[in-house]
Amino acid sequence: MTLVVATATAAVSMNVFLPSLPGLATYFDADYSVVQLAVSLYLAATAALQLVIGPASDRLGRRPVMLACFAIFILSTIAALNAPNITIFLICRVFQAFSAAGMVLSRAIVRDTVSAEDAASRIGYITMGMTLAPMIGPLIGGILDELYGWQATFYLILAFGIVSFAIVYLDLGETNGNRSVSMTSQLKHYPELFRARRFWGYTATAAFASGAFFAFLGGGPYVATEMLHLTSSGYGMYFILISLGYMFGNFLTARFSRSFGINRMMLVGNIIATLGLVLALVLFTAGYFHPLSLFGPSMFVGIGNGMTMPNANAGLVSVRPHIAGTASGLGGALQIGGGAALAVVAGALLTAESGPFPLLWVMLISSALAIGASLYVIHVARQLGLSDGEPT
């Protein structure tokens, strides 16, 4: 439960304020494309920070690094509430990305204590539990935004951050029993990861699978409010479908990864997500401009990601288990950096005249590439004669 809360901190910070994006544009008198940077800059900062958080935890320990990052997250949230303009607000969003420590270090903590197959199962249970936050977050955020304005959602983020810090401080023990000699020595492990083909395969799978979801985060609110005419709370209610799908995918991972294998679970998950996006394109092309034409098929993206992400993340930290923190940080940076780029692309391509099609095509191409990356992992594993996630 401690890891669920720690991991959910980043998800809450990302999801709960999404319905407030149009309101933020009005409050700060800024274009939506600028306000949307609150999503893409947050993702880019998350990617960059993971390059430091992972190796730092291998050197200093998981517990102190997580506590320090959560303290920065709390302070930056307070600063965001008092931001005088959009520039200062966006800077505060960058520092809020330190909440990524919960996501990065939870993967490493699990891998510190169990095997690759058990890691996939436990990560599945962790992400299934923490899905409750992004599932109800946009709904609560939408209601708060309509009643009290965008600041109310950030007070909720602040409260969650304080509770998370307290729980980690009181309950999380140190699991890194083999600390590196120095940060410099940890950086020397990067070439070892660069040479590991399966590490790149698992990372690419996670990057493209999550990229479809991050593209939705960048463009979905615009499509929902400007094209489908949903209110902030309406967007939050429909977003629950995606979160329910993700939770169900996590359940399937937790239940079947040990017997089915993490590689095949990834592949099936990506196929499900891709088919869902094909369905969305068919519905909108046929003229069915309804919220369910967007959120219904996107639920299958949630199911697919719920199956893919825990298995891909378990795989990338298992190829070189003695540097799990570094692998988690580098892999997470690459996948979230790709997600940030796709969020920017999706937001930039959408116009009132384009309809939802640019968003759907970006998501579909990303999901299709995830299928290719999964097949590459399976091919390399067969070449090397290795089981799923087995260290080389």
Q: In whole angstroms, what separates CA 87 from the centre of its chain?
A: 24
The pTM assigned to this predicted structure is: 0.72
- Lowest pLDDT segment from 68-82, 130-144, 176-190, 199-213: 176-190
What distance separates the 2 farthest-apart alpha carbons in the chain?
A: 61
Q: What is the C-alpha separation between 49 and 371, in angstroms, rounded?
A: 27
- Cβ 39 vs Cβ 343: under 8 Å: yes
* pLDDT, averaged across the chain: 83
Q: What is the C-alpha separation between 83 and 332, in angstroms, rounded?
A: 29
- Within 16-131, residue ranges assigned H as helices are 21-27, 32-35, 37-60, 62-81, 86-96, 100-113, 116-130
Q: Name the residue with tokens 């997250």.
A: 73
8-state DSSP, 173: P
pLDDT digits over 228-241, tens only? 888 877 887 888 88
**Architecture of the domain whose range is 2-384:** Up-down Bundle (1.20)
Q: What is the C-alpha separation between 29 and 117, in angstroms, rounded?
A: 50
The token pair at 279 is 């369905």
- C-alpha separations of 164 from 73, 122, 176, 222, 313 in Å: 11, 20, 21, 31, 23
Comparing CA positions, the residue from 164, 136, 87, 144 lying closest to residue 247 is 136
Q: What is the C-alpha separation between 305 and 271, in angstroms, rounded?
A: 10
Quote the radius of gyration of the chain (alpha carbons, Å): 20
Which one has a higher pLDDT value, 367 or 181?
Answer: 367
**Backbone torsion region of residue 288, taken as left when φ is above 0, otherwise alpha when ψ lies between -120 and 50, otherwise beta:** beta
Domain spans of the chain?
2-384
**Neighbour count for residue 174 (Cβ, 10 Å):** 14
Q: How confident is the model at residue 78 (pLDDT cuts 50, 70, 90)?
A: very high
Q: What is the C-alpha separation between 304 and 363, in angstroms, rounded?
A: 13
Which amino acid belongs to residue 211? G
Q: What is the C-alpha separation between 84 and 222, in angstroms, rounded?
A: 25
Give CA angle at 105 (141, 267), nearest 5°. Answer: 80
Residues in the chain: 392
Q: How confident is the model at residue 296 (pLDDT cuts 50, 70, 90)?
A: very high
pLDDT higher than 60, residue 389 = no
pLDDT digits over 141-178, tens only? 888 888 888 889 899 999 989 999 999 899 888 877 67
